[in-house]
């Protein structure tokens, strides 16, 4: 099996663990390489399609896992080893990593996770696994949003910003902003207004099969932040279309119950 290990950049402890894990897996007969590049500040792919690994092992926190999915030219199975603080996306602890990986065989057991494509005038702005955040460039200034579903105006409101989350991202920024925890097997767009002007503006979970768009009606400088990794400055009064990506993230199924894991990790926050 061909394995690529991605370690959290500049984290000495994660780097040392990655090298130890690499040596153990090499001795066990796996082909293993380590990526030591700073992928956050370089627009480079994690691998090329001619030398595609069978799986990627990410040693780090949720941010490193999100970065890995952003840098994959195509999504392949990913295993998160928690070297972060909470690690909602990491299913394996460091002391379990070697035994779990060596128990795997091809084809790998995977759980697909929906991602959201964001398009402006048909052009792809980016794809998110957790969320896309729309906020103003000017602190303390509200934006005006119009949500259109299947050709109909579903809601018009003012707020400091808007979180457009996947079910996977419902335990991230969306949860902190008052959104619900959503089963990641559900495929939908979770919209959570940030500090809405009216208390009646509540989070919405919309089926991903519907045609959904978000229109910015306020003529103010606006930026779009995708998975906390990519920042894009938007035109004033633009419309963003939301689509379910045809290339979902692929997570190794470590046999953990989602709700038990969430309950356990939330107790440590």
Q: Are 237 and 217 in contact (CB under 8 A)?
A: yes
Catalytic residue among 11, 23, 38, 62, which? 62
- The percentage of residues in the chain with a pLDDT greater than 70, rounded to a whole number, is 99
Calculated CA dihedral for residues 149, 152, 158, 160, nearest 10 degrees: 20
Residue 108 is given by DSSP the state: P
**Per-residue model confidence as pLDDT tens digits over 167-216:** 999 999 999 999 999 999 999 999 999 988 887 789 999 999 999 999 99
Encoded tokens for 244: 């379910």
**Per-residue model confidence as pLDDT tens digits over 122-148:** 999 999 999 999 998 777 788 999 999
Is 62 assigned a catalytic role?
Answer: yes
> Where along the chain do its domains lie?
2-113+248-266, 116-244
Q: State the pTM of this model.
A: 0.92
**Per-residue model confidence as pLDDT tens digits over 36-57:** 888 888 777 888 888 899 999 9
| Rounded Cα distance, 249 and 253, in Å | 12
For residue 96, what are the contacts with CB-CB under 8 A and spacing of at least 6? none
Give the model's confidence band at 269: pLDDT under 50 very low, under 70 low, under 90 confident, else very high.
low
Query: Does the domain made of 2-113+248-266 have the CATH classification 3.40.50.10330?
Result: yes
Give the model's confidence band at 72: pLDDT under 50 very low, under 70 low, under 90 confident, else very high.
very high
**Per-residue model confidence as pLDDT tens digits over 233-260:** 988 789 999 999 999 999 999 888 888 8
| Rounded Cα distance, 6 and 62, in Å | 13
- 116-244 CATH fold: Tumour Suppressor Smad4 (2.60.200)
């Amino acid at each position: 099996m061909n394995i690529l290990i991605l370690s959290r950049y500049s984290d000495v402890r994660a780097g040392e663990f990655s090298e130890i894990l690499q040596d153990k897996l090499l001795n066990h007969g796996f082909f293993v390489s380590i990526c030591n590049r700073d992928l956050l500040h370089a627009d480079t792919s994690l691998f090329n399609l001619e030398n595609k690994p069978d799986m990627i092992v990410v040693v780090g926190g949720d941010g490193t896992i999100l970065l890995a999915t952003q840098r994959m030219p195509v999504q392949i199975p990913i295993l998160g080893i928690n070297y972060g603080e909470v690690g909602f996306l990491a299913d394996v602890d460091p002391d379990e990593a070697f035994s779990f990986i060596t128990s795997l065989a091809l084809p790998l057991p995977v759980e697909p996770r929906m991602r959201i494509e964001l398009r402006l005038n048909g052009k792809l702005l980016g794809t998110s696994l957790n969320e896309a955040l729309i906020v103003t460039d000017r602190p303390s200034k509200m934006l005006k949003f119009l949500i259109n579903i299947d050709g109909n105006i579903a809601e018009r409101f003012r707020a400091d910003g808007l979180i457009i989350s996947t079910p996977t991202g419902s335990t991230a920024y969306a949860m902190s902003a008052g959104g619900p925890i959503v089963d990641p097997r559900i495929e939908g767009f979770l919209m959570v207004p940030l500090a809405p002007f009216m208390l009646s503006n509540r989070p919405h979970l919309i089926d991903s099969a519907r045609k959904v768009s978000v229109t910015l009606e306020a003529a103010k400088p606006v930026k779009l932040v995708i998975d906390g990794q990519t920042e894009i400055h938007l035109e004033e009064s633009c419309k963003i279309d939301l689509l379910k990506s045809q290339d979902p993230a692929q997570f190794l199924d470590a046999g953990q119950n989602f709700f038990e894991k969430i309950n356990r990790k939330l107790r440590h926050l």
